[in-house]
Amino acid sequence: MTKQRHALRGALTLAVAAGVAVSALTGTGTAQARGTASGPGGADRARLSQLLHRLTTVDGGPGALLHLRDRRGDTVLTSGVADVNSRAPVPRDSSFRIGSMTKPFVATVVLQLVGEHRVSLDAPVERYLPGVVRGEGNDGRNITVRQLLQHTSGLSDYLSHLNPQDILKDPLAHHDTRDLVGIALAHPPTFAPGTGWHYSNTNYLLAGMLIEKVTRNTWNEEVRRRIITPLGLRATSAPADDPAIPGPHPRGYVRPGPDAPLMDLTAFNPSVAGSAGAMISSGGDVDRFLDALVDGRLLRRAQLQEMMRTRPTGDSGGRAYGLGLESRPLPCGGLYWGHGGDVFGYETVGGATVNGSQATVMVNVDPGGTDAQSDDMRTAVQTALCHGRSALAGLRPPGSGVTED
């Protein structure tokens, strides 16, 4: 989502100049580790502490949270502030917008429908959404469901053609999914279906429309019925137009550039993200979802294997993309599975290993200051997964402002 973050900054600068209310950020960086973790000391534990501290100092985030879960329990690390005006700390049970972390939820529902023989992965999109994908060389008769979920359809990303300033002028406005898809279809495909890989949020708007056509329920209702309720994810929701974030949560901020002041955009209508990125969750809930997913409790074996059948993305870090789920190599060996997400005000990265460890990191600014934020978030997740709860013990490197209780 880095390209989108750069695209947002120019429009945000104009909005700030036009008089949108902003707040200054000063003096963040105090971190607290909460939990009962214990274990040997080491450079890796210090590294994780430094990364959380870095997210709220050098990287410019107001606040950050890391939730680590393994077979021995949960540990939470927070840094910085939830509100730049009140200076309140980040609640350890924070809810936040998870952006494209919504995609694994949506892909899971589609794959459940595949397991129920109601959808075929290799059927054309036209079978389920007749006449919808048309124009400028785009043709749903030549694009499969699998290609939507794996970003190999070649469809243009509607966000690349959407002016963020229009959203800022009226952040509570409703955005119709068909209209958003139409923005993408007014542009030619990036490549012929199946011949390349290009991350496109348009794919997942169409996946949500497919769910609705097959089930006759909204994608939000199906995610709630099939995933949120069975797993008891109390902090997770799939809102349609509700601009509020329920429960304890940090404020969400945007910053047009590294030296620009912050703008509070906690409340906005998530319909502009829809089934590509509208969901709300918490660190603990994301971890529980990823655990259930990779452990095979949400999908039948055949569909989970399809989800984990990845293709390279060209990323230098070894990122490979399956069906709404991506893998990355761990520095300690092996792979982890997860996704990232950014949406106005929040960035999230979550990952899980097949042996029962999960970690999720949240920062309450997006667009942020630099791309280093995303890199440091991924590194924190990888460090946590490699070293488990022992990575969070003894978090007191000199001068970091980190405390443990």
Q: Which residues are catalytic?
A: 100
Are 23 and 84 a contacting pair, CB within 8 Å? yes
> Of 393, 361, 404, 386, which is closest to residue 54 (Cα–Cα)?
361
Q: Is 207 helix (H, G, I), strand (E, B) or coil?
A: helix
What's the rounded Cα separation, in Å, for the pair 117 and 404? 51
Residue 306 backbone zone (phi > 0: left; psi -120 to 50: alpha; other: beta): alpha
Residue 136 backbone zone (phi > 0: left; psi -120 to 50: alpha; other: beta): left
Question: Using N-to-C axis directions, what is the helix angle for 201-215 and 177-185, rounded to 10°?
Answer: 130
Chain-centroid distance of CA 136 in Å reads 30
Are 138 and 183 a contacting pair, CB within 8 Å? no
Answer positive or negative: Cα dihedral of 298, 95, 61, 66: negative
What's the rounded Cα separation, in Å, for the pair 396 and 118? 54
What's the rounded Cα separation, in Å, for the pair 77 and 238? 26
Exposed e or buried b per residue across 94-105, where buried means at least 16 C-beta atoms within 10 angstroms of its C-beta: bbbbbbbbbbbb
